[in-house]
Amino acid sequence: MDSARRHASEASARAGVEVRTLGSGAELQAAADLLTDVWQTPFDEHILRALDLSGNYVAGAFDPAGVLVGTSVAWASVAPAPELHSHVTGVLPGLRRSGVGVALKLHQRAWSLEHGIGTITWTFDPLVRRNAVFNLARLGAVACGYLENIYGDRPDAVNLGETDRLWLRWELTDPAVEAAAGGTPRRVRPPEGATQRLQPGPDGEPVELSASAAPAPPAAAGAFICRVHPDIEVLRREDPVLAGDWRLAIRRVIGGALQAGGRVLGLDESGDYVIDPGA
């Protein structure tokens, strides 16, 4: 627990922010406004107030001038052991690679451990490559399920259509998570002979390769690698139809593997998904 608080403090210092839970009406309204701007969907200050009153997690990152630049919202979930479900985190667009997101999540981790919570869950869009690297490598979370269109069709520019998500579990005392909190990302080495199953084509289209496209030795046990489009967010703005093709491709390849009993081993050094399809 002491190391979790230390890692959180160090991450905040590197990002140049103070992360703390919110309480005043002005702070909660600022958080609701920030989330509305980032996600392009309305967030209500009254909901944040209700979560705060019921002892749940509503936190913000403040720059040296006292301006809110990031926020995160989570609540307790009903489970055999205490868990927190992290619903939404938002950082001002100009600060997305500044370390503010890491500072928020490591603060959330320390807060959870201090409240007797050992697991945090959340979802993310598997097509957003930078979020995959953030969640699976930088934080060390594990993808354990594929959810098809879980939030329904969304017309906003962030989602643009169906909302497939990977379901994540962040086991806060896992040695790999502790190492990631200390700055050593979780990376996996693909099994020997793992084949490429999905990759961008010459025009940015998703190219699905069959299991027999590249022979693999029995030791690989069918393991495969998926490389997604390098910037699906730009593609959604410039070519929504092609972006939709990517959604269906990732659903077939990764979603199909998980639904058949496979698992996401993690990301390799190139930031590509490594999948074990199981038996």
How do residues 110-124 score in pLDDT, each as one tens digit?
999 999 999 999 999
How do residues 135-177 score in pLDDT, each as one tens digit?
999 999 999 999 999 888 655 555 567 889 999 999 999 999 9
Which one of 3.40.50.1370, 3.90.226.10, 3.40.50.720, 3.40.630.30 gives the CATH number of domain 2-181? 3.40.630.30
Q: What is the pLDDT of residue 159?
A: 56
Q: What is the pLDDT averaged over residues 228-242?
A: 93
Q: What is the pLDDT of residue 79?
A: 87
Residues making up the chain, counted from first to last: 279
Q: What is the pLDDT of residue 96?
A: 81
How do residues 75-104 score in pLDDT, each as one tens digit?
999 989 999 999 999 999 888 889 999 999
Does pTM surpass 0.85?
A: yes
At residue 279 the predicted structure's pLDDT band, cuts being 50, 70 and 90, is low
* Domain ranges within the chain, ordered by starting residue: 2-181, 195-276
